[in-house]
């Protein structure tokens, strides 16, 4: 029943990477989430990466139907979901086949042997059974008849059909992994109690299977409890585990409360942005007005209407949706209304790779509108700081009277990490440009001298009645004015307004080295991968390799050029074919910007980054 | 303390300082003045009125009204107006649109705004042609119509706006000629009073590209014989001599003459605009002779804002969250020391 092909030496680890894989209906996302939440509550730092197919239920056992969830837990700072696996839990042959490449040699595989039958092996395109043909001799394989053991554990539970029994085998695997890493199972049992409140037989069955897996691992003593991962050294405070999309939604909730404005979301469902809508609709208790529109265009149109009427207005989407919103975004831009557009980037072009990550919408965010149409573009870089950048996007939109595009991506939006909860008291003030009462000669396009933000006159306010629209406007009254000089003047004012945001955003800082041989440059969701790779290359003895990660893209921080001058080489790493690097080339002369790009719908791997850095500094 | 005096507006209060730039003789002038005259009758404050438009001749409308207004992009006014109304349900929000703006490029938004029943008013200027782009056929142009983009005659069958709207579950639909300012004003006032989305189709003559397209319906000398002006609770009678009427013959409306073949006024159908079932309203909007005008449907239903408001109140009453901090520190949180 259980074989151990390699003897395991007890180890104390700083960090461990585990991947749970199985059919898309096997509950791998749930299993992974439970393990990462439990670990976070234990005090580990965590980073997670769900990887699932775009088919909701792909044919059972097929290679392309494999769904996976990777979690990286550590007693040290963990900033990526990890590269190479310490443990692979494979619920079927297809999962093993498609994920074995990532497992470190000599490390552990747990398989459900019941799933390694002729049919599944054929579907996974195995000619021979890998559990028998010695192809796994370099790994420690723990073979468990998980399906049979699950059935056995549930034989006395009433009200379960065969399907329900089979489906709970993921909890058997989770129970085993809990025991192996010294995790308590109470968090998950609490979860069952809440989730299945009205279905007590499911509470009973899931708890039984979880316990069965846990005690199975313990009592057979064949799996030594050899891994200990102590709590991470994180700044003290109150934490919770948060997903990027939830953090984005909460950033807007906080911004609405801080600014004293009501929050409006106009949105249309699109992967991987929909979870922001799902989160916002829950919060009617805060008066959130979340409107699911008939399409992407109506999503942004309703948000523009709400912005005109004085709400903090948001619209959320992903790449193809941003393309549809382009014309309306230009309207918001020329009307100079505060509006936040969230683009949770996915692989493109067109429908592309809906469930995979990419950073290929940067140029679209910058230039995807007709005419001279600059908007503020900022990017979040971790699941937790989606909160801060959503808050900041709202603050910039309201204070500068302009649309702001907030870029996140599928990787950080679906990933989760510990978030040191920020209370309202810690967050900065948000001003706005609302004219509360009319005064003589009030004009909608009179501007704040510092920011160039125009007056925001809101319907319902007596004496401020005015008309705005998509036609070029007079620089004071906002009435239609298509005179040549006026158009040039207005175009330049709108550009200058966005440029002046430089005075209100932080300077870019370097990590690891402030000058030297190589500056690694990134932006947005790649922070975790780049940060760990630069950290590691420095630990390995390569000195003078600095790291600069951009969250502010348009405008760029003021000191960007000065920073670049302090390094001999600059390497811009992006998950696209080279977009940010071209923005830098356009803005800064006299530098040779090297580029490292990956366009596979996947985050950077640690090793490929290390290789590239080392090549450049040797 | 000064006594608070309710300000009584006149139409002049609603004229903006912008020069009106429609072609001389355009029915749009009639609609503009009818609106300016209707607004004082509605009893709304000037600052609580918002006009939203898309693109097209009709969409210049907001610039000429001394209220809040937005001249937006092609076809999207219903979305923008929905956002305005949901953000501030106190406002009186008007969408000013044309046949192309509402039913071609904006067709999707048009049907969905009607379906949702937000308390908005939509005035549809139907001139059966594209004016601003200088004379191409529109989704309401008739088959055979010669236009700049159909020099040998239009081959695309048209929408009947009323039929489309009722199919999308419009609760209020009215149709009116573009040359009867008093009737237009009266219908605008009724549309304002109605809680829910109101759609008013104005048969608007384009003097340049489709001049006279409604002459045989709206001209003074024919309109009483060619139109039936419907009023809720009143018999469906029309004609210069008020001797024509509508009866239901099997599944069709039929024109009869009172006093002939034993028909008396008692045989004539009575208009019920408030009926939930739109079957009769559909028959009326499809009639080619006589053309039905007036308020054809006015069915009272719950509005989207009412539903949202009730739900919000209920959620608030049952929620333990009042501030975001309550949410952030709820559930599974843990301390790191």
Q: How confident is the model at residue A9 (pLDDT cuts 50, 70, 90)?
A: very low
Determine the pLDDT at residue A4.
41
Our CA-based measurement puts residue A214 at a distance from the nearest CA of chain B, in whole angstroms, of 23
Interface with chain B: mutation pick from A459, A460, A462, A481, highest number of B CBs within 10 Å? A459
Paired strand residues for B247: B254
Q: Are A265 and A292 in contact (CB under 8 A)?
A: no
Cβ contact B68–A466 (<8 Å):
yes
Nearest residue on chain B to A39, alpha-carbon basis: B334
Q: How confident is the model at residue B2 (pLDDT cuts 50, 70, 90)?
A: very low
B127 pLDDT exceeds 90?
A: yes
Asked if B73 has any chain A CB less than 8 Å from its own CB, the reply is: yes
d(CA A45, CA A66) in angstroms, rounded, equals 27
Determine the pLDDT at residue A6.
35
**A313-332 mean pLDDT:** 98
More confident residue, B168 or A26: B168
List the one residue out of A327, A311, A430 whose CA is nearest residue A371.
A327
Asked if B317 has any chain A CB less than 8 Å from its own CB, the reply is: no
Ordered domains of chain A (ranges, CATH): 11-228 (3.40.920.10), 240-424 (3.40.50.970), 510-617 (3.40.50.920)
What pLDDT digit, counting tens, does each position of B240-273 carry? 999 999 999 999 999 999 999 999 999 999 999 9
Asked if B335 has any chain A CB less than 8 Å from its own CB, the reply is: yes
A220 pLDDT exceeds 90?
A: no
- Give the whole-number percent of chain A exceeding pLDDT 70: 95
Cβ contact A237–B316 (<8 Å):
no
Q: Which residues of A touch B325 (CB under 8 A)?
A: 423-424
Determine the pLDDT at residue A7.
36
Our CA-based measurement puts residue B174 at a distance from the nearest CA of chain A, in whole angstroms, of 25
d(CA A121, CA B42) in angstroms, rounded, equals 75
Cβ contact A459–B68 (<8 Å):
yes
d(CA A322, CA A409) in angstroms, rounded, equals 13
Q: How confident is the model at residue A210 (pLDDT cuts 50, 70, 90)?
A: very high
Element (H, E) at A594: strand A593-597
Sheet holding B237-238, edge to edge: B237-238, B244-249, B252-257
Q: Are B126 and B161 in contact (CB under 8 A)?
A: yes
Nearest residue on chain B to A240, alpha-carbon basis: B333
Determine the pLDDT at residue A232.
76
Element (H, E) at A522: strand A516-523
d(CA A218, CA B23) in angstroms, rounded, equals 88
Asked if A465 has any chain B CB less than 8 Å from its own CB, the reply is: yes
Determine the pLDDT at residue B145.
97
Q: Burial letters for A324-358: b for 16+ Cβ neighbours within 10 Å, e otherwise? A: bbbbbbbbbbbbbbbbbbbbbbbbbeeeebbbbbb
Determine the pLDDT at residue B101.
97
Which DSSP category does A447 fall into?
B
Q: Which residues of A touch B311 (CB under 8 A)?
A: 284
Neighbours of B172 (CB within 10 A): 28
Q: Which residues of A touch B66 (CB under 8 A)?
A: 465
Sheet holding A376-379, edge to edge: A289-292, A263-267, A312-317, A339-345, A403-409, A376-379, A552-554
Query: Which range has the worst mean pLDDT, A28-32, A346-350, A547-551, B52-56?
Result: A28-32
A172 pLDDT exceeds 90?
A: yes
Q: What is the 3-state secondary structure (H, E, C) of chain B?
A: CCCCCCCCCCHHHHECCCCCCCCCCCHHHHHHHHHHHHHHHHCCCHHHEEEEECCCCHHHHHHHECCEEEECCCCCHHHHHHHHHHHCCCCEEEEEEEHHHHHHHCHHHHHHHHHHCCCCEEEEEECCCECCCCCECCCCCCCCCCECCECCCCCCCCCCHHHHHHHCCCCEEEEEECCCHHHHHHHHHHHHHCCCCEEEEEECCCCCCCCCCCHHHHCHHHHHHHEEEECCCCECEECCCCCEEEEEECCEEEEEECCCCCCCHHHCCECCCCCCCCHHHHHHHHCCCCEEEEEEEECCCCCHHHHHHHHHHHHHHHCCCCCHHHHHCCCCCEEEC
Q: How confident is the model at residue B291 (pLDDT cuts 50, 70, 90)?
A: very high
Asked if A464 has any chain B CB less than 8 Å from its own CB, the reply is: yes
Asked if B71 has any chain A CB less than 8 Å from its own CB, the reply is: yes
Q: How confident is the model at residue B174 (pLDDT cuts 50, 70, 90)?
A: very high
Radius of gyration of chain B (CA): 23
CB-based burial of residue A592 (10 Å sphere; 0-12 exposed, 13-18 middle, 19+ buried)? exposed
Cβ contact B79–A266 (<8 Å):
yes
Cβ contact B47–A236 (<8 Å):
no
Cβ contact B69–A422 (<8 Å):
no
CB-nearest to A294 from B71, B73, B112 is B112
Our CA-based measurement puts residue A426 at a distance from the nearest CA of chain B, in whole angstroms, of 11
Determine the pLDDT at residue A223.
55
d(CA A485, CA A607) in angstroms, rounded, equals 55
Residue-averaged pLDDT of chain A = 92
A222 pLDDT exceeds 60?
A: no
Q: Which residues of B touch A262 (CB under 8 A)?
A: 87
A546 pLDDT exceeds 70?
A: yes
Asked if B87 has any chain A CB less than 8 Å from its own CB, the reply is: yes
Nearest residue on chain B to A247, alpha-carbon basis: B328
List the one residue out of A42, A102, A51, A53 whose CA is nearest residue A75.
A42
CA quadruple A381, A384, A385, A387: dihedral positive or negative? positive
Q: Are A446 and A437 in contact (CB under 8 A)?
A: no
Q: Which residues of A touch B91 (CB under 8 A)?
A: 309, 459-460
Q: What is the DSSP string of A55-113?
A: SSSPPTT-GGGEEEEEEEEESS---SS-SSEEEEEESSHHHHHHHGGGEEEEEEEEEEG
Determine the pLDDT at residue A25.
80
Q: Are A542 and A533 in contact (CB under 8 A)?
A: no
A5 pLDDT exceeds 80?
A: no
Q: How confident is the model at residue A574 (pLDDT cuts 50, 70, 90)?
A: very high
Our CA-based measurement puts residue A366 at a distance from the nearest CA of chain B, in whole angstroms, of 21
Cβ contact A187–B90 (<8 Å):
no
Determine the pLDDT at residue A227.
53
Nearest residue on chain B to A310, alpha-carbon basis: B87
Interface with chain A: mutation pick from B67, B336, B337, highest number of A CBs within 10 Å? B336
Interface with chain A: mutation pick from B9, B16, B315, B328, highest number of A CBs within 10 Å? B328
Nearest residue on chain A to B304, alpha-carbon basis: A291
- Length reported for chain A: 618
Would you tell me which residues 17-46 of chain B have a C-beta closer than 8 angstroms to some C-beta of chain A?
A: 18, 45-46
List the one residue out of A278, A290, A351 whose CA is nearest residue A315.
A290
Determine the pLDDT at residue A8.
39
Q: Which residues of A touch B85 (CB under 8 A)?
A: 305
Close Cβ partners of A342 (under 8 Å, ≥ 6 residues apart): A248, A273, A276, A314, A315, A316, A317, A390, A393, A405, A406, A408
The helix-helix angle for A146-153 and A200-219 (nearest 10°) equals 120
Cβ contact A469–B63 (<8 Å):
yes
Our CA-based measurement puts residue A536 at a distance from the nearest CA of chain B, in whole angstroms, of 26
CB-nearest to B47 from A291, A306, A462 is A462
B11-233+289-310 belongs to CATH 3.40.50.970: yes
Asked if A236 has any chain B CB less than 8 Å from its own CB, the reply is: yes
Nearest residue on chain B to A256, alpha-carbon basis: B324
Asked if A260 has any chain B CB less than 8 Å from its own CB, the reply is: no
CA quadruple A303, A304, A307, A308: dihedral positive or negative? negative
What pLDDT digit, counting tens, does each position of A100-126 carry? 988 888 788 999 999 999 999 999 999
Query: Which range has the worst mean pLDDT, A158-167, A376-385, A502-511, A576-585?
Result: A158-167
What pLDDT digit, counting tens, does each position of A239-254 carry? 998 999 999 999 999 9
Cβ contact B70–A283 (<8 Å):
no
Q: Are A264 and A310 in contact (CB under 8 A)?
A: no
């Amino acid at each position: 029943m259980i074989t151990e092909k390699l003897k395991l030496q007890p180890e104390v680890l700083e960090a461990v990477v585990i991947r749970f894989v199985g059919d898309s209906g096997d509950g791998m996302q749930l299993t992974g989430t439970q393990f990462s939440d439990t670990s976070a509550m234990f005090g580990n730092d965590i980073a997670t990466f769900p990887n699932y197919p775009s088919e909701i239920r792909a044919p059972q056992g097929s290679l392309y139907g494999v769904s996976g969830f990777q979690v990286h837990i550590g007693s040290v700072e963990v900033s990526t979901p990890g590269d190479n696996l310490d443990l692979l839990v494979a619920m079927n042959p297809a999962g093993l086949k498609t994920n074995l490449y990532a497992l470190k040699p000599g490390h552990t595989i747990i398989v459900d042997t019941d799933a390694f039958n002729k049919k599944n092996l054929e579907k996974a395109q195995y000619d021979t059974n890998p559990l028998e043909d010695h192809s796994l001799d370099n790994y420690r394989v723990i073979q468990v008849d998980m399906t049979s053991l699950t059935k056995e554990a549930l034989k006395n539970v009433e009200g379960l059909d065969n399907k329900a029994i089979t489906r709970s085998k993921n909890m058997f695997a989770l129970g085993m992994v809990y025991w192996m890493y010294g995790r308590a199972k109470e968090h998950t049992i609490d979860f069952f109690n809440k989730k299945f409140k009205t279905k007590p037989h499911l509470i009973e069955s899931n708890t039984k299977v979880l316990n069965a897996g846990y005690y199975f691992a313990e009592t057979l003593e064949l799996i030594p409890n050899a891994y200990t991962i102590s709590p991470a050294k994180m700044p003290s405070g109150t934490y919770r585990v948060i997903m990027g999309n939830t953090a984005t939604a909460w950033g807007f909730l906080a911004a609405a409360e801080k600014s004293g404005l009501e929050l409006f979301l106009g949105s249309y469902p699109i992967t991987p942005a929909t979870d922001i809508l799902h989160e916002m609709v829950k919060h009617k208790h805060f008066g959130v007005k979340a409107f699911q529109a008939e399409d992407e265009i109506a999503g942004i149109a309703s948000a523009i209407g709400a912005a005109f009427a004085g709400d903090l207005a948001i619209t959320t989407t992903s790449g193809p949706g941003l393309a549809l919103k382009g014309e309306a975004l230009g309207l918001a831009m020329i009307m100079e209304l505060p509006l936040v557009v969230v683009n949770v980037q996915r692989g493109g072009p067109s429908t592309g790779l809906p469930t995979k990550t990419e950073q290929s919408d940067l140029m679209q965010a910058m230039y995807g509108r007709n005419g001279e149409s600059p908007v503020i573009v900022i990017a979040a870089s971790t699941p937790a700081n989606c909160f801060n950048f959503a808050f900041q996007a709202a603050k910039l939109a309201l204070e500068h009277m302009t649309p702001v595009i907030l870029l996140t991506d599928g990787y950080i939006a679906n990933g989760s990490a510990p978030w040191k909860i920020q209370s309202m008291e810690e967050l900065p003030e948000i001003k706005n440009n609302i004219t509360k009462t009319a005064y003589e000669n009030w004009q909608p396009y009179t501007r704040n001298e510092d920011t160039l933000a125009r007056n925001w006159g809101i319907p319902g306010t007596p004496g401020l009645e005015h008309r705005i629209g998509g036609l070029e406007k007079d620089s004071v009254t906002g009435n239609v004015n298509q005179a040549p000089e006026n158009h040039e003047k207005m175009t330049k004012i709108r550009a200058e307004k966005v440029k002046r945001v430089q005075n209100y955003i932080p300077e870019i800082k370097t990590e690891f080295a402030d000058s030297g041989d190589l500056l690694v440059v990134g932006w947005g969701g790649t922070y975790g991968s780049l940060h760990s790779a630069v950290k590691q290359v420095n630990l390995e003895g390569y000195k003078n390799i600095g790291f600069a990660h951009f969250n502010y893209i348009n405008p760029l921080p003021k000191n960007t050029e000065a920073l670049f001058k302090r390094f001999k080489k600059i390497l811009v790493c992006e998950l696209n074919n080279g977009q940010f690097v071209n923005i830098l080339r356009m803005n800064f002369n006299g530098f040779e910007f090297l580029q490292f790009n990956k366009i596979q719908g996947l985050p950077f791997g640690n090793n490929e980054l290390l290789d590239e850095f080392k090549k450049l500094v040797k | 303390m000064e006594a608070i005096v309710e300000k009584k507006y006149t139409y002049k209060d609603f004229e903006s300082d912008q020069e009106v730039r429609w072609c001389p003789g355009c029915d749009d002038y009639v609609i503009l003045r009818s609106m300016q005259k209707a607004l004082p009758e509605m009893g709304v404050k000037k600052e609580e009125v918002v006009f939203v438009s898309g693109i097209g001749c009709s969409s210049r409308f907001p610039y000429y009204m001394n209220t809040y207004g937005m001249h937006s992009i092609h076809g999207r006014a219903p979305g923008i107006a929905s956002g305005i109304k949901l953000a501030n349900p106190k406002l009186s929000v008007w969408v000013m649109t044309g046949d192309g703006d509402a039913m071609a490029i904006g067709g999707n938004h048009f049907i969905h705004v009607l379906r949702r029943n937000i308390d908005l008013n939509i005035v549809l200027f139907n001139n059966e042609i594209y004016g601003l782009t200088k004379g191409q056929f529109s989704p309401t142009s008739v088959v055979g119509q010669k236009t700049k983009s159909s020099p040998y005659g239009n081959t695309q069958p048209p929408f009947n706006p009323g039929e489309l709207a009722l199919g999308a579950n419009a609760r209020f639909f009215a149709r009116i000629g573009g040359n009867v300012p008093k009737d237009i004003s009266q219908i605008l006032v009724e549309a304002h009073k109605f809680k829910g989305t109101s759609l008013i189709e104005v048969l608007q003559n384009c003097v340049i590209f489709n001049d006279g397209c409604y002459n045989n319906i709206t001209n003074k000398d024919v309109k009483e014989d060619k139109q039936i002006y419907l009023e809720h609770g009143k018999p469906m009678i029309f004609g210069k001599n008020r001797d024509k009427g509508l009866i239901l013959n099997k599944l069709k409306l039929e024109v009869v003459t009172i006093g002939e073949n034993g028909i008396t006024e008692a045989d004539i159908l009575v208009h019920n605009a408030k009926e939930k079932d739109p079957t009769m309203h559909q028959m009326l909007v499809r009639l080619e002779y006589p053309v039905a005008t007036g308020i054809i449907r006015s069915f009272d239903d719950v509005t989207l804002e009412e539903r949202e408001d009730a739900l919000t109140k209920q959620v608030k009453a049952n929620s333990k969250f009042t501030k975001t901090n309550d949410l952030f520190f709820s559930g599974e949180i843990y301390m790191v020391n």
